[in-house]
Chain A
Amino acid sequence: METTTAMHIANGIVDGPVSAVFAVLAAAALAFCVKKARADLDDRLAPMAGLVAAFIFAVQMLNFQVLPGVSGHLLGGTLAVVLVGPWVGALCVSTVLIIQCLLFADGGLTALGLNITNMALLGTAAGYLLVAGLLRIMPKTPGGLGATALIASVVSVTVASQGFVLQYALGGTTDLPLPAVAGTMAGVHVLIGIGEGLIAATTVATVARVRPDLVYAMRRFRKPATAEIGVPA
């Protein structure tokens, strides 16, 4: 059950001042992302960003059983950074969180800063750093990209879950033993990360195989000749 909490923190789990600090932090970071994303958000990336957001939204509804009584869902940060890059990726995940919060009452409104910090900022940042680093040594093939996405997903989900532990330590409204919270969160989220990683890996590998022009993370490694060829599915 703590899993669901980490995915979406409700109102009142972390106290007001800490929520406010993280809300300011998240707003500042997102403003920076908006600035950086403006250069990225071209004709090709705009619909892709929308689809990535819709996809994340959809797969977040798909809960998979991790342990008896514990179900988790994907965060989608790694998928987003591979396909649309870190800045637009963070915006995609935040958009999903904001819409879920306003329209689907999922996750507390004042906990939005906390949720965005964990899932949209921490998760995507960890995912992107790993993807960027790993792609230097991994083979630049669909398979290599899939493996990269798998590893990055596991780490990014676990990092995001530890963001909740940090916030709980700073402003938890109740006094739970912290090592136990941290341990449970990390353990459960490694499993969720593997599930997320498998889905992210198949998705990006398929996209890289059929429409390599759509993969943001591979732009740096693409040879100019193949860049213009979009093979229809």
Chain B
Amino acid sequence: MGAGHAHPLHLQRDSPVHRIAPEVKIAATVLFTIVVVLTPRTEFLAFAGYALLLAIVAALARVPGGWLARRATIELPFVLLAIALPFAGHGPRTDWLGLSLSVDGLHGAWNIFAKGTLGVLASLLLAASTTMRDLILGLDRLRCPQAFTQIATFMLRYLDVLADDARRMRIARLSRGYDPRFLWQVKAFAVGVGALFLRAYERGERVYLAMLARGYTGRLPAPEAPRPPVRQWLAAGALPAASAGIALVTVLS
């Protein structure tokens, strides 16, 4: 478990952004995303401004652009839907390179692409600069109900257990000459899934009982961290504040 607190999207760095308290970062990310989504889709300059803000944050967090770009491909399925929109939409149409495109569909596609990308990038920056443990701690300090943080804590611990057991079972299958392709992989998974579940549960149950024996009461003992200083709130608040400023200026002008 010692090394299990990071996650695939976490980027170990020592930067001002990494040092900000998790609850502050979560609040800033949520507010920023709300501003982005509320921006009218034809305010193209505003979206450029948001992208610039995120680039500044990425530079401060020392997260490389290539790293962000590669992980942002998680968004691709959504963008695929967006590509279909200009062809399938209704309303007035425009001609571009001999293709008849719906204006509403074009705007819709831009809307999904721009807001989706900015949202994904903001979440990626949060993920890159926050460990899972800190994230749950942050949610807890933001008064997230204990039922949630408890489920989330166990979920993150069991994820490693599940992944390890699944890997062991897969290696066991492969070493017995099992080499399925395409849909037939599903069969082995489905046959073994119940066993995987039980194996993981019984491992996890032992961990849980050990935790209870050591005084676990439904909440992980958090080191008594002082409340984040006001300047952290101010520093992180600069992101949503600046984006709200951009939104106001572009909408009003």
Contact = CB atoms under 8 A, between A and B. Distances in A.
Which of B124, B151, B201, B208 has the most CB atoms of chain A within a 10 A radius of its CB?
Answer: B151
A10 B112 CA distance: 8
Interface string B184-213: 001001110111011111101101100010
B152 A53 contact: yes
Interface stretch (B12-20, B54-62, B82-90, B231-239): B82-90
Nearest to B194: A206
A92 interface: yes
Interface in A31-69: 31, 34, 37-38, 41, 43, 46-51, 53-55, 57-59, 62, 64-65
B154 A46 contact: yes
Contacts, number: 230
B6 to A, nearest CB: 11
A102 B9 contact: no
A206 B197 contact: yes
B230 interface: no
A104 B74 contact: yes
Interface stretch (B27-35, B171-179, B221-229, B245-253): B27-35
Given A50-B154, A109-B33, A203-B193, A102 B204 contact: no
Contact of A199 (B38, B147, B154, B193): B193
B199 A233 contact: yes
Interface in B34-92: 34, 36-38, 41, 71-72, 74-75, 77-78, 80-81, 84-85, 88-91
Interface string A87-111: 0100110111011011111101110
B57 to A, nearest CB: 15
12 contacts: A16-B38, A38-B147, A47-B158, A47-B204, A50-B150, A51-B201, A51-B204, A99-B152, A99-B155, A99-B156, A103-B132, A174-B107
Interface of B: 7, 9, 26, 29-30, 33-34, 36-38, 41, 71-72, 74-75, 77-78, 80-81, 84-85, 88-91, 104-105, 107-109, 111-112, 114-116, 118-120, 122-124, 126-127, 130, 132, 135, 145, 147-148, 150-159, 161-163, 166, 182-183, 186, 189-191, 193-195, 197-202, 204-205, 207-208, 212, 218
Given A49-B150, A55-B158, A94-B148, 15 more contacts: A1-B80, A12-B41, A51-B201, A51-B204, A54-B155, A54-B158, A104-B9, A105-B71, A110-B33, A176-B88, A202-B191, A203-B193, A206-B194, A206-B198, A211-B201
